[in-house]
Amino acid sequence: MIQILGLVLLYTGAAAGLLCTLVPGNLTQIDAGAGQVYGVNYDDNIFQWVGTYWKQIPGKLIHVTVGPAGVWGVDRMNYIFKLQDDDWLPVNGHLKQIDAGGNKFLSGANKYDWVYCLDQDQTVSTSDVFSYTELDGSLKYYSCGPYGCWGVNRYNDIYYRHDVKPTECWGSYWQQIRGSLVMVEVGTDGSVYGVNPQGTALKRKGISAMNPTGISWSWLDMPVSLQHVSYDEGNLWLLTQNGDIFKCRANGF
């Protein structure tokens, strides 16, 4: 039976309802973007949400991402794969975390927390050999969208990368953002969500093209601890520490 859970959003003293549905299945990581949703489970199996159920996709990955740059993933050996013609094409390079949410450019971090990206001209090609751009700094998680890129380091500090472009994913400099997150995800529309060390989901308020870093964090008060969050097309996808999956309508959040 599908369970419905009413949640309360707390933000500067105001409350707003958020309706969440417990989705069948169990995942360790989930990513929503460009109208699609993918995830992986404890056995490294890959799944795609097709409206009412999870469809298993052949292959084994620990992290999968979907966005304007396509569908990509990495396995336990940190090898990188791109979904092309319904098959996982192995490509050069090694990453532990990968993100396709940029404007057809790719970003991610490797096991040493070194940060990399691929310009748009490479992600749209059919090649399996790419020339990655290494960024300065050290991050364990890095995610991009139309207004720029966000990341967190091993100390859960939050950073925003200025002046990132589809053809120049390097950007210019880091700006530290107040707060603490263990992971951060940028939506296709530029919205930014994350999970803090206490397992609470947060959203960055006030983000726009004129103010890409936003103004403050709002938080979602949920009676379970979360490990992962992703957002696309009005839906907020949440994973609990136990791998349970919630799909929430994000109106007002």
The residue-averaged pLDDT of 223-251 equals 92
**Does 14 reside within a domain?**
no
Give the number of other CB atoms < 10 A from CB of residue 3: 10
The residue-averaged pLDDT of 28-57 equals 97
**Does 9 reside within a domain?**
no
pLDDT at 250: 59
pLDDT at 252: 56
pLDDT at 6: 40
Of residues 12 and 201, which shows the higher confidence score?
201
Distance CA 32, CA 23 (A): 15
Task: Determine the 3-state secondary structure of 15 from DSSP.
Answer: strand
- Looking up tokens 């990509």 gives 72
pLDDT reading at 5 higher than 50 = no
- Domain region containing 123: 23-249
Element (H, E) at 142: strand 141-145
Total number of domains in the chain: 1
DSSP state of 209: S
The residue-averaged pLDDT of 44-72 equals 97
pLDDT reading at 3 higher than 90 = no
pLDDT at 101: 92
pLDDT at 251: 58
Element (H, E) at 121: helix 120-123
pLDDT at 18: 73
**Does 59 reside within a domain?**
yes
Distance CA 103, CA 69 (A): 7
Q: Tens of pLDDT along 68-112?
A: 999 999 999 999 999 998 999 999 999 999 999 988 999 999 999
pLDDT reading at 166 higher than 70 = yes
CATH number (domain holding residue 112): 2.130.10.30
The residue-averaged pLDDT of 105-128 equals 94
pTM: 0.91
pLDDT at 1: 35
pLDDT reading at 127 higher than 70 = yes
Contacts of 28 (CB under 8 A, 6+ apart): 39, 40, 41, 42, 62, 227, 228, 239, 243
**Does 2 reside within a domain?**
no
**Does 113 reside within a domain?**
yes
pLDDT at 12: 31
222 — pLDDT class (breaks 50, 70, 90): confident
**Does 101 reside within a domain?**
yes
Distance CA 18, CA 140 (A): 30
DSSP state of 250: -
**Does 82 reside within a domain?**
yes
**Does 81 reside within a domain?**
yes
